[in-house]
Amino acid sequence: MRILYCIYQLFVVLPVIVLITIITAIEVGVGCAIGDGHFWGYYPGRWWAQIITRIFLLPVHVEGREHLEPNQSYVFVANHQGAFDIFLIYGFLGRNFKWMMKYQLNKIPFVGYACRHSHQIFVDKRGVSKIKKTYDDARNILEHANCSVVVFPEGARSFTGHMGAFKKGAFMLADELQLPVVPLTINGSFDVMPRMKDWHFAHWHPLSLTIHQPVYPIGQGPQNIQATMNQAYDSVMSALEPKYQGFVENPDQ
C-alpha cells in the first residue's frame, strides 16, 4: 500500500497541486484587485487547502469551534508540527484570518504572489523598521478588518513532533490590542510529513485540529503577556498525542 500511495502522489496528487495552486493564485490576485479583498483573500485559499488535504486522502477531525464567538477578532496560536499545518488550519479552522508568515515565503512562485495580493502579513526581522511594519500590518487588520491572525509562536517547524519554546511576539500584539488568544493544537501533521532537508513523499495519517477556549487578557503589560503565553502553551501541550508530549528544544528557533 505504501508503494501504491507514493505512485498515486507522483502521478495524481502532484499535478493536481501544481494546477490548483496556479489557478488559486491567479484567482486571489484578480479577485483582490477588482472585488472584496476580505472575501478573495481568504476563501480561495481555504478551498485550495481543503482540496489538497482531501486529494491526499487524509481524514480530518476538528473540535472546539463552539468556543469561538461570531464577529470577534482573535490571535490564534498553534504548534508547528509540519507543512500540513498550513492546509489543516487554512482549510478547516472556519474563520477568516490572515497569516503571520516568514518573509521568505514571499519568494515561492504563485504562492508568494497570492499572499502579497491578499495582504498576508510577512514577518521580517531584518531591522527595526521592518519589524515595526510587521506589527503595524497586524494591528491594522485586527483593529479595522474584522479579521483574525494566525501565528506559529515557535517560529519554525518541529524536527521531532514535540513543541519548542513560544516567542512573545503574538502575545505582545494581543496584549496591546486587548484581544483574546486562542490556542490551537495540531496532531498528525508531523506523521504525514516529518521535517527533512529534502523533499519526500507524504505518509497517510489522520489530521486533527483542537480549538481551545480563548485566553482573555487579565490586564495589560508584561504580566498579562507572560500569563497568556504560559496558559496558551499549556493548552496546546495538553491536547498533543502522548508520544509528542513534553518540551524538546528546536535548534532552528
Take residue 57 and report the three cell numbers written for it.
486522502
Write the single-letter amino acid at 124. D
Read off the amino acid at residue 204.
W
Crossing angle between the packed helical segments 84-92 and 43-55, to the nearest 10 degrees: 120
Express each pLDDT in 100-123 by its tens digit. 877 676 777 777 778 777 778 777
Of 157, 161, 181, 185, nearest in space to 169 by CA: 181
Q: Which three cell numbers stand for residue 44?
A: 480561495
- Please name which of 51, 48, 38, 35 lies closest in space to residue 120, comparing C-alpha atoms: 38
As a whole number of angstroms, the distance between CA 139 and CA 178 comes to 11
The Cα–Cα gap between 210 and 65 comes to 8
Q: Indicate the DSSP class of residue 106.
A: G
User: What is the pTM (predicted TM-score) of this model?
Assistant: 0.91
How is residue 64 written as a grid cell? Answer: 472546539
The C-alpha cell at 14 is: 502532484
Cβ(101)–Cβ(120) below 8 Å = yes
Whole-number pLDDT of residue 76: 97
Give the pairing type, strands 60-63 and 207-211: parallel
Strand 75-78 vs strand 60-63: parallel, antiparallel, or unpaired?
Answer: unpaired
Residue 227 has φ and ψ, to the nearest 5°, of -65, -40
**pLDDT for the residue numbered 35:** 83
Helices 14-34 and 43-55, interaxial angle, to 10°? 170
Write out the chain's pLDDT in tens, 253 residues.
899 999 999 999 999 999 999 999 999 989 988 888 789 989 999 999 999 999 999 999 999 999 999 889 999 999 999 999 999 999 999 999 988 877 676 777 777 778 777 778 777 666 556 667 777 777 777 776 678 999 999 988 999 999 999 999 899 989 999 999 999 999 999 999 988 756 689 999 999 999 999 999 999 999 999 999 999 999 999 999 999 999 888 877 6
Residues 6+ apart with CB under 8 A from 245: 162, 237
